[in-house]
Structure 1
Amino acid sequence: MARRVVQWGTGAVGVEAIRGIVDHPNLELVGAKVYSEQKAGIDAGVLAGREPIGVTAAIDIDTAGVDAVLYAPRHPSVDEVAAILASGANVITTAFAFHPARMAQHDRGRLQQACIEGSSSLHGTGLNPGNLGVVIPLALTGMSRTIEHVRVQERADWSVYDSVEITFDQMHFGSPLDEVDAQTDGLRFTSQLFQEQVWLLGDALGLGVDEVTTDLEVIPASADRDVCGRTLRAGTVAGQHWRWSGLRNGEAVVEVETLWTVGEPQPTHWPTPQHGWTVTIEGTPSMQAHLMTLASFRRDVPLAEHVRSASVATAMQAVNAVVPVCSAAAGFTTMADLPLSLYRSSTCRRDQE
């Protein structure tokens, strides 16, 4: 029997999730939540660039009787998610809750109670934080005898990311340098997500992390730059180097590092991993893996398709988690708790349940 799924949010990730749900033989799309009157009333298939599928997008969605909600809004709400969980629907989200046990106590308590009321489960996933930042490192450690240190690095140029609202408004690229720090609105939320990732790696591996610290360095743009139709002015923030460190007795044992620029060369004192994601495990044995998501490594495709591939990967990590999350016990279910989400051909997928 197919799992009944509502797609909550139809942005870049949401539309890819709709495509993934529709194509998945063990899932049935039964609703699509939108936040604007312009999208309300439009068929969900059309919103995702497909033929109509008979599911109309709406601002008000009833999740009673739904197996799962794939929750992917730009700005997540604990109130929304608690209500969904309490209605009995499991929540798989790419927006937050990567390690709910390490969330702020008030939010954690509300979500726990909602899971109890609805006999439902909450699961956070994605890329980084997500599969590339958690699942890949955890999988590699299966070859370890000892682990001294785990580092996840992400290097990316945001100038090709066609979402100026996130780049400028949420992440504060283009803002004056003295107005941007780890506690700036928007950045504080992003930082909390990565802190959860550090805690999750530390907790899952039993590394004894007792504190997570945050460091941020911003660099200015050396010239005016056009970024998807919006100007990033010289002297404003054009680079952010974040490092979240999981400490054990004052010594870093887990580090998550992001090196983000917007068309600006990295300063020479920054680390220089390859573009994409690099996982380094120091131990016995020591290991390193580099990963990228592209539209193709074989075909010549437009840059926009390469950029879109990250949204596809984010969405499919959530889509492929629906069936196992629906089968999980009520409560918080992290990426460390689930079996690996594997791609299966349509024939094999029908045999999964």
Structure 2
Amino acid sequence: MTVSDRPLRVIQWATGAVGTEMVTTILDHRPDIQLVGARVYSQAKDGVDLGTLVGRAPIGVPATTDAERILNTDADLVLYAPSFTDLDDVCALLESGKNVATVSFLFHPRRIPEADRRRLAAACQQGNSTIHASGLNPGNLSGVLPLALSGMSRTIDKLTLQERADWSLWESTDITFDGMWFGRPVEDVTPTANDFLSFNTRLFTEQTWFIADTLNAAIDDVSVTLEAVPATKDLQILGHELKAGTTAGQRWNFVGSRRGAPLIEFETLWTVGGEYPSHWPAPEDGWTLTIEGDPSMRTHFLCLASYSRAASVEEHVRAGLIAVAMQVVNAIPAICSAPPGFATMADLPLIRSYTGFGDDLASS
């Protein structure tokens, strides 16, 4: 879709933790974007002004649980950020002529099931629309950052990204407990044990293929392993009781190999309650990206509220949510200017901060 000098009209789909950061950023910092709709899932939010929902002054945009109403709203782009995704909804949005930016899935459409890919492509063609997905991991740290660093590489032998994180303060406990099955018997937790774990498996498998396809790895397959480890004591996690002996840690490995040699590995070391097994590798908290090659390089990423002032744990958690949200909010103009179809992290131009240091935005 083409854009003009008018503000871009954007709909927010889901107003959870990440969606709230998207909305407040637009209201506080983005005069080039106009919020024109909001899709919510809770009856308590239905009809409530979007500004009110995120702790700002009313903006005259009532949230709605009615997806059809959203489809009939004129907009340039939908920020799609639900915890649980629906391909039917995304295709309907694209068919209606709205671009879609998501932090939830579809990071590498080339490697999703062919029927789904055809549906999405047809929806983009019908609506003359574009879809883009990014975030942190999967997203920037397993997509954009490796590609950026590869610009300093002559050759690459192996790429590894390790993520170490404790989920204890993640407010979306429906994901932690109902989705990821923390607190369930360790023998129950497998890569395909429920719909959400299967979904998570597909996301990281696709992201592994994304790096392989973009950097000419020509891998043969992606293997997936998961080790669930038990809690050593009873834990209380945001009002949920996690019994000793049930799952308190998950180590996932997604490995892309060529002729038996591992070339790309994404490893996640996820725990709750500070339960960290002694036999696991022990990288620093955050994300550690290592590229072995000519030359070899390593970078560590940790997103915090501040490195220079005292901040609460809650502020540090929120900082991560902001980082997820900004990767797609800052990409909105580029997505709206992109050709119809799939615009991956390898296709869009460099996405940078719109606000930056905030000086004299009007003349920029």
Fold-level similarity (TM above 0.5): yes
Residue of structure 1 equivalent to 2:81:
72
Counterparts of residues 1-353 of structure 1 (less than 5 Å): 1-22=6-27, 23-60=29-66, 61-63=70-72, 65-185=74-194, 186-345=196-355
Q: Give the direction of change, closer, same or farther, for the CA distance of 1:103–1:333 in structure 2 (3 Å limit).
A: same
The question of whether the paired residues in 1 share the 8 Å contact of 2:232 and 2:275 is answered with no
TM-score w.r.t. length of structure 1: 0.97
Question: Does the 8 A contact of 2:135 with 2:328 survive in 1?
Answer: yes
Q: CA RMSD in A?
A: 1.4
What amino acid maps onto 1:101 in structure 2? R
Matched residue of 1:136: which SS?
Answer: helix
Structure 1 CA distance for aligned equivalents of residues 130 and 40 of structure 2:
23
Structure 1 gap ranges (5+): none
Larger deviation: 79-88 or 23-32? 23-32
Provide the C-alpha distance between the structure 1 equivalents of 2:30 and 2:289, rounded to a whole number of angstroms: 30
Deviation at 1:214, TM superposition (A): 0.4
Task: Find the aligned partners of 2:93 and 2:107 in 1 and give their Cα distance.
Answer: 17
**For the Cα contact (< 8 Å) 1:63–1:89, is it kept in 2?**
no
Q: Is the 8 A contact 1:64 1:87 kept in 2?
A: no
| CA deviation profile, 1:303-338 (whole Å, cap 9, x unmatched) | 111111111111111111111011111111111111
- 1:212 alignment partner, SS class: strand
**CA deviations over 1:73-130 (Å, ceiling 9, x no partner):** 1111000000000011000001100001111122111111101111111111111001
Deviation above 6 Å: which 4+ runs of structure 1? none
State percent identity of aligned pairs.
50
Q: State whether residues 63 and 84 of structure 1, in contact with CA within 8 Å, keep that contact through their aligned partners in structure 2.
A: no
Number of aligned positions between the proteins: 352
CA contact (8 A) 1:92 1:318 kept: yes
3-state SS of the aligned residue for 1:69?
strand
**What secondary structure does 1:254 align onto?**
strand
Please, which runs of 5 or more residues in structure 2 have no aligned partner? 1-5
CA distance in 2, matches of 1:100, 1:20: 28
Output the TM-score relative to the length of structure 2.
Answer: 0.94
Aligned residue for 1:28, secondary structure, equals: strand
Separation of aligned partners in 1, 2:212 and 2:53: 40
8 A contact 2:71–2:92 mirrored in 1: no
CA distance in 2, matches of 1:277, 1:32: 32
